[in-house]
Amino acid sequence: MLGFNRRFAPFSEKLKAGLSEGPMAISYRINAGYMPADHWVHDPSIGGGRIVGEVCHFIDYCVFLTGSKVISVSAVEMAGKNNQHDSITIQLSFANGSIASISYYSTGHKDVAKDYIEVFSSGIIGIIDDFKELKFSGRKTTVQTMKQDKGHANGVRLFIDSLKNKKAAPVSFDEIYHSTYITFCVLESIATGQVIHIK
């Protein structure tokens, strides 16, 4: 499952269930933190770089929430001396009319939480703050808090259960492939300065 764990977080399931049907707009901000240029995460043969190694998770999360395929990708990176692709913004559009903006920044400060997700859906706004708090605003406002859980254990449990009981995998190969392919489209968009349209 390539570590696409965030979709298995308890708050992720509640967020998706609490949204209205139909197109949604997603804003996903990641305070990624700085890594030195010689860190293994930047090595294409080991860590894959920060887009391939980490941004893939956030793309998959947007695919999970929308329940739809990406049809176009646009990405730009902030100018920097190392060109490590570690401060970028990504715009995704989906077949069902949804849109998503992923903001992945290495230039922030560790005092601010890593994950902040806002989803706008037919008069409802759902917010996840660092997978510790879930808030819905709209028809009524509700707030839930818990110890941070990004879905690692639940993802592993579901995967093992699928093997033991001969069930379908928790994430289909098609969806894993799609999220991974879109990740490489991000690199293409940065390199070419073009919007990448998915056939």
Q: Where are the domains of the chain?
A: 10-146+173-190
Residue 20 pLDDT class (50, 70, 90 cuts): confident
- pLDDT, position 37: 73
- pLDDT, position 2: 56
Per residue in 55-114, pLDDT (tens digit) is 999 999 999 999 999 999 999 999 875 667 889 999 999 999 999 999 999 989 989 999
The answer to whether residue 155 scores a pLDDT higher than 70 is yes
Q: How far apart are CA 8 and CA 1, in angstroms?
A: 11
Q: How far apart are CA 63 and CA 98, in angstroms?
A: 10
Fold type of domain 10-146+173-190: Dihydrodipicolinate Reductase; domain 2 (3.30.360)
Distances in Å between the alpha carbon of 133 and those of 12, 41, 112, 137? 11, 29, 14, 13
The answer to whether residue 36 scores a pLDDT higher than 90 is no
Per residue in 104-147, pLDDT (tens digit) is 999 899 899 999 999 999 899 999 999 999 999 987 888 999 99
- pLDDT, position 50: 84
Q: Residue range 169-181: average pLDDT? A: 93
Q: How far apart are CA 144 and CA 140, in angstroms?
A: 13
- pLDDT, position 40: 64
The answer to whether residue 1 scores a pLDDT higher than 60 is no
Cβ contacts of 27 within 8 Å, gap of 6 or more: 100, 101, 103, 117, 118, 119, 120
Q: State the Cα torsion 14-178-3-158 to the nearest 10°.
A: 60
Residue 74: which H helix or E strand, with range? strand 70-77
The answer to whether residue 9 scores a pLDDT higher than 80 is yes
DSSP string, 83-150: --S-SEEEEEEETTS-EEEEEEESSS-TTS-SEEEEEEETTEEEEEETTTEEEEESSS-EEEE-S---
Q: Residue range 3-17: average pLDDT? A: 93
